[in-house]
Structure 1
Amino acid sequence: MPRIPTRLAGVAAVLVSLPLAVAPPVSAAAVEPDYTVTVKPGATGAAIPKSMYGVFFEDINYAADGGLYAELVRNRSFEFLPADNRSYTGLTGWTVNGTATTVNDDQRLNERNRTYLRLTGPAGITNSGYNTGLAVEKGERYDFSVWARADAGVPLKVSLHTTDGTALAAPITVTVKSDTWTKYTGTLRATATSDAARLSVQTAGTGTVRLDEISLFPQDTYKGRDNGLRRDLAEKVAALKPGFVRFPGGCLVNTGSHYPYDAANNYPRARSYQWKDTVGPVETRATNANFWGYNQSYGLGYYEYFQFSEDIGAMPLPVVPAMVVGCGQNRATDDEALLQKHIQDTLDLIEFANGPVTSTWGKLRAEMGHPKPFGLTHLGVGNEENLPEEYWAAFLKFEAAIKAKYPSITVISNSGPDDQGATFDNLWAKNRAHGSDMVDEHYYNSPSWFLQNNARYDSYDRNGPKVFLGEYASLDNKLFNSLAEAAYMTGLERNADVVKMASYAPLLANIDNVQWRPDMIWFDNDESWGSTSYLVQKLFMNNVGDRVVPSTATGNVLQPKPITGAIGLSTWRTAAVYDDVKVTRPDGTVLFSDDFNDGNADGWTPVQPRGTWTVTNNAYAQTDTASEDTMVKAATIGETDYDYTLKATKTAGAEGFLVAFGIQETGQFYWWNLGGWNNTQGAVEKGITSAKEQILTKPNTVTTGQTYDLKIQVRGTKVTLILDGSEWASFDDNKVSEPFAQVITEDTKAGELIVKVVNAQDTAAVTKIDLAGRKVARTARMTVITGDPGEQNTRSAEPIQPVTSTVSGIGSTFTREFPANSVTFLRIKTR
């Protein structure tokens, strides 16, 4: 990748350091402290593994092609199809000048690379890459390659240029010499910098040439690897110093067909991720329909994942499909032969990673350039399966086969898609009884959830399976979300004897191709920037320590607030009609009412411009069955006790109703989801984006054409949900929040205590810290992340950055004022 001309080159990848002048003690030392942190004398805390924090890579948000994988050409092998995305054709990403058609016949490059381009001259094709175009930098070299065949010698002119035709490199010519598929190469040297370049391949004369695998690759990849990684993105990941890399994804792994690649023309386009599709020469690798709605080339495959893990000093942690489809699709295979094939594929994967060069798969690894084993020690089976019985039966077979042949491998099970609920409880009970090595938990929750659940792992069985927190994030990319995550991470470290690994997710997002928010690192085709969560994760990951120093904290907590705010109506891929909407006090006094008999919905406003809302037949209808999250809102309710009633009728579509309440100007809300997850489940969810915290779930379906009477009864923090006159469920969102959190760890090699304090509130926290008589230096190195809690880092500005300085006034007991909305790390030398 070119050396990126960023606004703040390297700022997001390194801590900002002020001159190490010594700051004086804070004047707040004489003030009565708001909080007290006390080290427990003589207590020994848990050892913290090197794998404590890592990264989770999934090809979501165009994280691989168009992202971490450095290939600049989009749809290089003409394999894009409507099965990947309804808008795709074999020429997606290309424009044609002359006669060009994509072909799938017996002259194709190989069985897996089925589609090629037939170009009859004079003609040419131009690729526009990803985002605004191909990013090139003056003076950098780019390797061009193409597989081609022709009836006679046909010259191909290859050029880099702007959209108006201005040259960005001296063109090169390669001549196709025979009618046998052959790889032709050349190098282009950029004479100017552009983030909107185009690559053109032009043929003269009237001959016909067949082209496939047209590639343009920067020579300046991460560590100069062939078929390598975009350097600025890889460097940002490496700067985290992760203990592990989980790959190749989550939902990407266990969705789609589990059947293997079929060499016939009817192989399934949407196959689950199968590692054997992704190794060997890139031109022989299959492409696949990505679960997230696009095509994946597999140019970034298992070999590259292992290599990248090794390059950044991280433990590789692959995840294989367990033959139970998850992520809302919920089905399991009953094909025992297919199950055994995937189990064997998993054993072959371990051989690929660790086997000698004399073994079948170890030999392939060596042929790809890595004779030495990669040293695989951990492997996950499955991801977020919501069919616990079927998943568990499959997991036991995978685990038995792996342990029989490779007993030292840690086999990781999972607990389903949520932090609680029937599936979670069922799978955890099974894992405890079985004595599983480790259980993978996933959850995406509101900031308040993270501030309310710092003690989540305090009560876990110290002798039970260990926890791998494989995916978690607070539901936005603002500083306040990062502070909530930081507070929660102090609890992860405090419980390092139970929580052995944790990774924020997702890792990467292309700003112009987003399927999921929030994300840690954002990028376009020539720039990248770290979110505030990236900065917090980096601070923790670069300052872990190797042992917990047991400590306690006392001080203020925040009491729960009553559920107030606007009411809302929504749908998700469903058409529905709502009527007789009313909000009343418990005594019947009407606070808001709308029966839509006047033919309008003037009191309702869209939260997002989605869906088609109209008043029809004296009711409010949303008629678009394709749109998701079509919420409209009305009537901000300031009362703490009220009843919200309405009638709802599904008219068409995949799911049911979404009835929102407690909608805040910040975007936070609750909603009652009936007929969710393809009309299989109901839930109450709390959140601010498309990923939400589930407060409760239960099986539920909605019948098309049937009118339901819904009532949401709010009493302070307690909510009762009534469906057709009967109580459906209730909950009480009454947990206290702990905006102040801390943990102390020790870096024995450096001879330092690391005091980590999070103050996720709008007032400073004067804090007394008692190190239980430990002899320490009078100064400490302090790093602080702070700012407006609603601020975030973006492509145009990165206002939130860590600041490092040296502070004085440190001792075995000292007092500091920690800023409002801050994360502070003090590294204190011990004596």
Structure 2
Amino acid sequence: MRSRKHPSRARRARPLLLSALALAVTAPLLPGGAGGASAAPRPDYAIRVDTAATGPDISDSMYGLFLEDINFAADGGLYAELVRNRSFEFGPADHASYTPMTAWSEASRGGATGTAAVVNDGERLNETNRQYLRLSLAGDGAGAGAGFGVRNAGFFTGMEITEGDAYDFSVWARTDRPAGTELRVSLGTEDGTPLAADAAVSVADDTWTKYTGTLTATASAADGSLTVTAGGAGTVRLDMVSLFPQDTFLGRENGLRRDLAEHIAALEPGFLRFPGGCLVNTGTHEGYQAPDWPRERSYQWKETVGPVEERAVNHNFWGYNQSYGLGYYEYFQFAEDIGAMPLPVVPALVTGCGENRATDDPALLARHVQDTLDLIEFANGPATSEWGAVRARMGHPEPFGMTHLAVGNEENLPDAFMERFAEFREAIEDAHPGITVISNSGPSASGPTFDRAWELNRQAGVDMVDEHYYQSPAWFLANNERYDSYDREGPDVFLGEYASRDNRFANALAEAAFMTGLERNADVVRLASYAPLLAHSQGTQWRPDLIWFDNDASWGSASYEVQKLFATNTGDEVVPSRATASPGREAPITGAVGLGTWATSAAYDDVAVTAADGRTLLADDFSAGTGQWSPTTGAGTWGVENGALVQSDLTSTENMLVAGDPAWSDYDLELTATKRAGSEGFLIGFGVRDTGTYYWWNLGGWNNTRSAVEQATGGARAEVVGDGTTIETGRAYDIRVEVRGRTATLFLDGREWGSFTEPATEPFRQVVTRDEATGDLIVKVVNAQDAEAVTSVDLGRRARVGRTAHVTTLHGDPDAVNTETERPIAPRESVFRHAGNRFTYTFPPHSVTFLRLSTR
């Protein structure tokens, strides 16, 4: 879905389930989707469904959303404020280029002059709003409206202003002129073209007072700006300069950008997880204590509620400033507005996201535990309670009805985390026994941290564990059965963050294939949310993302279309089914070999590749130079020194030289490696098929804190197996990699370091669910391969289904990407008229297909 920000151009998506008549009249037939050929081809696949059996119930909240302020998702995005740096609090703590005047410039009318300075002194608006703008006016200039002041350029390319729309202006101001000072407020383009009639605001005296006005746009522009000037002489102080569109989601004050909120609401989410993410578990856990207190704090909910002018701004982990205009109250309100269960995340006082430290201050820990209890009271307490009263004063006297709360996010120190988590959990369960307290398993899908975290979670008997992973499409296609073996009596799984590492349709297909496994294991996986949710196209720190936007428009990625299809057609219970496997899924690991480094200088020598039958495939002692090797990734400075191949550039990352044949299989790679200098160790490539498809053994990676084998597919890497091995400088290591079929075994100095077997990548996946309200069977099939899949579907003799099936299909080029102007991946609806207990259906190549079969 793509939409503009305004009513005439933004429509909610039509329901996927249209009437049979409408489908028959309007829907085109998909390639192979409508059947009807006189001679049916022989099936490639068979799906058998046991309609008499019942599988797991699917949680009403199965598919939800994770909203974190990354990629300018909040300020400059979902939060509808158009003024950037409205309280003059920006600074180098947010970003090296920021100053208190970021997005602001001086402005003059009628030749008036003066000075504009951001001040931090005893005249501030309040103790949490540290800085304000002081205008010192010369009192010169000529003509009506003459004055001196400032202009705000908004976010990125300017404010999006639409003709006919109304915008609410507000400012906190004071003046030292006894007779008062008039402010002139205007909207215009970068070249000075007016966009609205000016508004006049009279500042009465020298006490901080909020002044408001409304501007109605007389023209449209994408490069709008807000100008505020003061006439006369004297000193005028300004703070919290704001311009808000009245056309917010559901018309709420301090509200949300409507088109983005509607895209989110169209997903019909079962829950909303907020506010992070790395925002939660990074930075100091100290709260805002004084006007000059450092802003690199973890996200703490009490700083984000109450009047917006009293909310302390903070450095954003993702490299910009966060105003907290979109705070906990607004998150709870939004969850309620879209019918989603609120699921907040609070810090456990163990940092993650590369920081990796745990607090040792009992008083600080006790304060955060109490803050969490206060949060539950804010959400659920009566309006007569201390924090319930705060909620009521903000406009919501009734409780929000929160039932789930997560403590911590992606901590890399599982033992330290669990010690602190236990204190939170005990306090919450004692005071609020109805709250489900969610733990987590670290930042990866596997590895020592993941294994230890799950061990501790099982020992503690936690209710639910939050898993996070970002992987390659191949990983998702190969790990459909991930949850088949999970303990049915153990903790439930909350898959709080996952995505395939790109936004092409191929990535969405891999995610869809994986989601069939989530549904099949709905008795274990109770909640799941793709991440990140939002990304501004001009301010992106992370890719992939579900919904993209700029200042004017928003559009759903291919993954958005997949998530929406699954979320709006989930069903209530799984119906047991099975499908035949694809041919060729057991192909061996094949590829050349590689040598590389990451921010490290290393020397390699005596490289030998020997086939399993004893033939020598490659032997190089570099006495003849580097002629057998060619670069595939990165640059680096490679040469032969003292008879060894050396990479000498300590700043070069992700570089690798490759030798051999991409068709090699069943071989041994042997070499000697020595780290000369730098922050990491060695990159030993094998199974190298092209620049984006390979394995490498990353020895001494992640600043020489651990080692792992990573698999790259399409340029995206996923960890396969790892441990805590580090690499010493100046020491020669004997390295050996044995590749046999789909298994690789790795040896370091003659001792087995580890091994793995590549899981079979399966491009054809399915799951069947039942919708209790309609009685429909929903057959969901993903065909993530180049060829169509002719498939026989057998529902069994006892199934009673109609001859007509309603079909929704996502189908397209695997490299297709949805953009602001192009939507190649969008649902197509059709009718299949040859259904029944047994039928054959042709699933198009690179497609996701939902067949709704009526049993009534």
TM-score by length of 2: 0.90
Aligned to 1:464: 490
The answer to whether the aligner puts 1:808 opposite 2:833 as a matched pair is: yes
Which runs of 5 or more structure 1 residues have no equivalent in the other structure?
none
Cα distance in structure 2, aligned partners of 1:124 and 1:722: 69
Aligned to 1:100: 116
Other-structure match for 2:276: 249
Deviation at 1:673, TM superposition (A): 2.6
Shift of 1:688: 5.1
Give the direction of change, closer, same or farther, for the CA distance of 1:826–1:260 in structure 2 (3 Å limit).
same
Counterpart amino acid of 1:698?
D
Provide the rounded CA distance (Å) in 1 between the counterparts of 2:198 and 2:505.
47
Q: In the alignment, is residue 785 of structure 1 matched against residue 810 of structure 2?
A: yes
- Note the 1:588-607 alignment, pairs <5 A: 589=616, 591=618, 605=631, 607=633
Q: What residue in structure 1 maps to residue 435 of structure 2?
A: 409
SS in 2 for 1:251: coil
Q: State the distance in 2 between where 1:36 and 1:248 align.
A: 44
Distance (Å, rounded) in 1 between the aligned partners of 2:824 and 2:449: 41
Cross-structure match for 1:117: 133
Indicate which of 737, 749, 756 corresponds to 2:761.
Answer: 737
How far residue 28 of structure 1 moved from its aligned partner, in angstroms, is: 8.2
Change in Cα spacing, 1:214 to 1:595, as seen in structure 2 (3 Å) is: farther
Query: Tell me, what secondary structure is at the counterpart of 1:777?
Result: coil
Deviation track 1:3-33 (CA, whole Å, cap 9, x = no partner) reads 5379996597875988434865343873332
Change (3 A) 1:721 1:552: closer
Give the Å deviation of 1:553: 1.6
Matched residue, 1:126: 151
Q: Distance in 1 between matches of 2:276 and 2:346?
A: 9
Contact 2:734–2:750, Cα closer than 8 Å, also in 1: no
Counterpart CA distance in 2 for 1:698 and 1:44 is: 41
- Asked if the contact 2:683–2:697 (Cα under 8 Å) also holds between the matched residues in 1, the reply is yes
Whole-angstrom distance in 1 between the partners of 2:606 and 2:827: 49
Alignment partner, residue 89 of structure 1: 99
Shift of 1:657: 4.7
Instruction: Supply the distance in 2 between the matched residues of 1:8 and 1:219 (Cα, whole angstroms).
Output: 17
For 1:147 and 1:622, how far apart are their aligned partners in 2?
58
Does the alignment pair 1:77 with 2:87?
yes
Structure 1 residue 487 and structure 2 residue 497: aligned?
no
Deviation at 1:583, TM superposition (A): 6.5
Q: Deviations over 1:638-692 (max 9, x none)?
A: 2223527464535345x55545554554723333333333432222222458974
**Could you say which residue in structure 2 is the equivalent of 1:755?**
779
Q: Which residue of 2 aligns with 1:685?
A: 710
Task: Give the greater-gyration-radius structure (CA).
Answer: 2
Distance in 2, matches of 1:680 and 1:169, equals 58
Specify the alignment match of 2:144 in structure 1. none
Distance between the aligned counterparts of 2:84 and 2:638, measured in 1?
40
User: Which segment is superposed worse, 577-586 or 291-300?
Assistant: 577-586
Residue 480 of structure 2 aligns to a residue whose secondary structure is coil
Structure 1 Cα separation of the partners of residues 301 and 369 of structure 2:
12
SS in 2 for 1:325: coil
| Alignment partner, residue 564 of structure 2 | 538
1:428 Cα offset (Å): 1.8
* Aligned 8 A contact 2:691 2:715 in 1: no
Distance 1:508 1:156, change over 3 A: same
Equivalent residues of 1:477, 1:792 under 8 A apart? yes
Q: Secondary structure at the match of 1:228?
A: coil
Partner of 1:37: 47
What SS is found at the alignment partner of 1:778? Answer: coil
1:777-796 superposed Cα distances (whole Å, 9 cap, x missing partner): 11111000011112221234
Give the count of matched residue pairs. 821
Deviation at 1:617, TM superposition (A): 7.1
| Aligned residue number for residue 141 of structure 2 | none
Distance across 2 between alignment mates of 1:803 and 1:318: 36
Q: For residue 138 of structure 1, what is the aligned residue in structure 2?
A: 163
Report deviation, 1:745: 0.8
Identity of aligned residues (%): 56
Judge which range, 227-236 or 145-154, deviates more: 145-154
Residues 156, 538 of structure 2: 8 Å contact kept: yes
Aligned 1:142-291 pairs, distance under 5 A:
142-152=167-177, 153-265=180-292, 267-291=293-317
Q: SS of the residue aligned with 1:263? A: coil
**Separation (CA, whole Å) in 2 of partners of 1:49 and 1:297:** 35
**2: distance between equivalents of 1:710 and 1:821?**
40
Q: Which amino acid aligns with 2:263?
A: K
Give distance in 1, aligned partners of 2:714 and 2:840.
39
Q: Distance in 1 between matches of 2:648 and 2:226?
A: 45
Segments of 5+ residues of structure 2 without an aligned counterpart are: 108-113, 139-147
Tell me how far apart the structure 2 counterparts of residues 211 and 689 of structure 1 sit (CA, whole Å): 52
Correspondence for 1:454: 480
The 1:195–1:28 alpha-carbon spacing in structure 2 relative to 1, beyond 3 Å, is farther
Judge which range, 460-469 or 334-343, deviates more.
460-469
Cα offset for 1:324?
0.9
> Are the equivalent residues in 2 in contact too, given 1:2–1:136 (CA < 8 A)?
no
For 2:156 and 2:6, the matched residues in 1 are separated by 17
In 1, the alpha carbon distance for the partners of 2:656 and 2:194 equals 50
Structure 2: distance between partners of 1:632 and 1:25 = 50
Distance 1:742 1:157 in 2: 63
Partner of 1:54: 64
Q: Residue in 2 aligned with 1:830? A: 855
* Distance in structure 1 (CA, Å) of the matches to 2:17 and 2:801: 25
Deviations 1:589-639 (A, max 9, x none): 5759696998x999755746xx875769787556565x8x54355446422
Paired with 1:287 and 1:650, the residues of 2 have a C-alpha distance of 45
Shift of 1:555: 3.6
- Give the 3 Å change call, closer, same or farther, for CA 335–703 of structure 1 in structure 2: same
Q: Is the 8 A contact 2:248 2:257 kept in 1?
A: yes
| Equivalent-residue separation in structure 2 for 1:430 and 1:481 (angstroms) | 33
- 1:20 maps to what in 2? 24
Partner AA of 1:755 in structure 2: V
Deviates more, 1:230-239 or 1:91-100: 91-100
Q: Please say if residues 13 and 239 of structure 1, whose CA atoms lie closer than 8 Å, have aligned partners that are also in contact.
A: no
Code of the aligned partner of 1:784: T
